[in-house]
Amino acid sequence: METLGLKEYLKGEGATLVGVGDVTRALTEEIAHLNRGIAIAVNRSLNRTTVDLLSRLQDLTEGWLRERGFRALAIPADSDRVTGTFISRLYKLFSHKVAATCSGLGWVGKNGLVINHDYGSKLTWATVLTDAPLEVDRPSTVSRCGDCNLCVKHCPSGAIKGQLWSSGEPLKEMVAYEKCRSLKKDRLLLNGKPNCGLCITICPYSRNDRRKVETCVVCVGS
Amino acid sequence: MVDETRKNEVLEKLRNGVIQYDEDACREGAQEAVDLGMDANEAIFEGLVAGMEEVGRLFEAQEYFVPEILMCADALYAGLDILKPHCKQMDLGVKGSVVIGTVEGDVHDIGKNLVKMMFDVAGFTVYDLGRDVPLDKFVEEQLKTDSDLVCLSAMMTTSMVGMPTVIEKIKEKNPECLIMIGGAPTSKELADKWGADGYAQDASNALKEAIKMVAFLRKLREEKLKK
């Protein structure tokens, strides 16, 4: 299939990264037939304009697929905030992290977020599931966080456990989310902005630090 | 008098809007129907419901799966929201009101919501108790609203066991009330054993049953208009 064509098309329309993954292992019965996950990322934080851009990219993807006679189900970037429709009930059956890692665009970092080698966690993700036989990318199977523990050390709520992710243990809990959530609550009361985002900004990959993790061990030690 | 050709165009738009799960088309079609001064009931039944009937057929033919059904349902509601305020009370010989909910211990409510939608469409007054509803709440609500129907839904065996208690309590106080149960673990045998009057296996079957019911109402309506 013209997989490359689709990727180039979406990048031309504003996508930063596009990947295709075989997501079979993560699908429940309702969506078992949609075994290709198209991961779309833009290097912007999650806000209204980002969501709108991703939603437009998803519309284009759906159109592209349906024109060719395939099914498509778009999982929006802010899927956890979309409620009240029938289809939104299916969103929680699928995590963007699955599509992102299965398409090799990143691994799940110690901070519990997808980390891409070039952009770190400063990406917002959306997924389109489809039954089109697109060529799949090579999946990420292991963490590349190495010995770096910057996010573990700097997390103000002490929520990050310092675990190394691997695709073989998809259910491993990387972050004590209740700790992170309670901090978010406090922050929301304080200044109306719940997210502290330190685990994103501190990450050498997010900072586009050329030393990356391989050498970063030194700076952690100092 | 509404122009026939224009009217048929609008109905076609509503029908296709539902089938192609195009919310915008349904909204547009519904607004056009209102602007044209069309009978809102006709727009719902000959447009939206006709579309949903086709969706039911496509599902049976395995051309549509669960995601498509849900998207179609969203499209139908987009149109229904606009048309509903313009509906006249239909006189079809059924005074419809229904209490519906997913029983205590169960949070699965996709099937329940699909069935609720078809009751909405049919012009029933729906008292939706939501999900994880305490058993006594069903009894209370039925007595309070004097509804003709109570629909109980459950997807797990563990929560399903609460159903006979509800049925018994309601029937004891109000034997006229019809009770339907539905959800994956239920069966025709269980419905009979517990004294329920109707049964639907799962979301898609419940939808099919509800479509049949509404299709029947639609026929009644046509016959009434001919007279």
Q: Does residue B187 form part of some domain?
A: yes
The pLDDT value given to residue A213: 54
Which residue range(s) make up the domain with B53? Answer: 4-88
User: Are residues B108 and B201 in contact, defined by beta-carbon separation less than 8 angstroms?
Assistant: no
User: Which of A157-161, B82-86, B156-160 is most confident?
Assistant: A157-161
Question: Token pair for residue B71?
Answer: 């998207």
List the CATH number of the domain containing B62. Answer: 1.10.1240.10
Residue ranges per structural domain of chain A: 3-130, 150-221
Which domain-ending residue is among B57, B88, B119? B88
pLDDT at A222 over 50: no
Q: Does residue B224 form part of some domain?
A: no
**A131 vs chain B: nearest CA distance in angstroms?**
12
**If you measure CA to CA, which chain B residue comes closest to A84?**
B74
For residue A67, count CB atoms less than 10 angstroms from its CB and return exposed for 0-12, middle for 13-18, buried for 19 or more: exposed
**B171 vs chain A: nearest CA distance in angstroms?**
32
Chain A residues touching B68 at Cβ < 8 A? 71
Q: Does residue B170 form part of some domain?
A: yes
Lowest mean pLDDT among A65-69, B28-32, B171-175, B215-219: B215-219
**B81 vs chain A: nearest CA distance in angstroms?**
13
Chain A residues touching B73 at Cβ < 8 A? 86
List the CATH number of the domain containing B103. Answer: 3.40.50.280
pLDDT-based confidence at residue A211 (cuts at 50, 70, 90): low
B114 and B202: one domain? yes
pLDDT at B213 over 80: no
**B214 vs chain A: nearest CA distance in angstroms?**
20
- Which residues make beta-bridge pairs with A199? none
Q: What is the distance between the alpha carbons of residues B133 and B131, in angstroms, rounded to a whole number?
A: 5
Question: Do the bridges between strand B149-153 and strand A124-130 make them parallel or antiparallel, or are there none, so unpaired?
Answer: unpaired
Q: What angle do CA A24, A29, A31 make, to 5 degrees?
A: 65
ipTM over 0.90: no
Chain A with chain B: Cβ pairs closer than 8 A: 30
**If you measure CA to CA, which chain A residue comes closest to B77?**
A85
B66-83 helix and B110-121 helix, angle to the nearest 10 degrees: 40
B105 and B69: one domain? no
Q: What is the distance between the alpha carbons of residues B102 and A126, in angstroms, rounded to a whole number?
A: 31
Residue-wise pLDDT for A31-50, tens only, equals: 899 999 999 999 987 788 99
Interface of A with B (CB under 8 A): 30-31, 33-34, 71, 73, 85-87, 89-90
Chain A residues touching B65 at Cβ < 8 A? 30, 33, 71
B195 and B105: one domain? yes
Q: What is the distance between the alpha carbons of residues A154 and A198, in angstroms, rounded to a whole number?
A: 7
CB contact B70 to A (< 8 Å):
yes
The pLDDT value given to residue A218: 42
Question: Token pair for residue A48?
Answer: 């209204």
pLDDT-based confidence at residue A209 (cuts at 50, 70, 90): low
Of A30, A31, A85, the CB nearest to B74: A85
B132 and B67: one domain? no
Please report, rounded to a whole number, the percentage of residues in chain B having pLDDT higher than 90: 35
B149 and B52: one domain? no
B83 and B104: one domain? no
Residue-wise pLDDT for B11-35, tens only, equals: 999 999 999 999 999 999 999 999 9
B102 and B77: one domain? no
**If you measure CA to CA, which chain A residue comes closest to B117?**
A86
CB contact B67 to A (< 8 Å):
yes
Q: Does residue B140 form part of some domain?
A: yes
Chain A residues touching B111 at Cβ < 8 A? none
Chain B residues touching A65 at Cβ < 8 A? none
The pLDDT value given to residue A221: 38
User: Are residues B121 and B44 in contact, defined by beta-carbon separation less than 8 angstroms?
Assistant: yes
The pLDDT value given to residue B217: 65
The pLDDT value given to residue B208: 67
pLDDT at B95 over 60: no
Other Cβ atoms closer than 10 A to A88:
17
B135 and B63: one domain? no
The pLDDT value given to residue A9: 96
CB A33 to CB B68 under 8 A? no
Domains: count for chain B: 2
B50-60 helix and B203-226 helix, angle to the nearest 10 degrees: 140
Q: Does residue B146 form part of some domain?
A: yes
pLDDT-based confidence at residue B94 (cuts at 50, 70, 90): low
B58 and B25: one domain? yes
The pLDDT value given to residue A214: 53
CB contact B113 to A (< 8 Å):
yes
Question: Do the bridges between strand A17-22 and strand A36-42 make them parallel or antiparallel, or are there none, so unpaired?
Answer: antiparallel
Q: Does residue B119 form part of some domain?
A: yes
Please report, rounded to a whole number, the percentage of residues in chain A having pLDDT higher than 90: 66
Average pLDDT over residues B136-163: 88
Residue-wise pLDDT for A69-128, tens only, equals: 999 999 999 888 888 888 988 898 899 999 999 999 999 999 999 999 999 999 999 999
Q: Does residue B219 form part of some domain?
A: no
CB A87 to CB B70 under 8 A? yes
Which domain-ending residue is among B27, B60, B88? B88
CB A90 to CB B66 under 8 A? yes
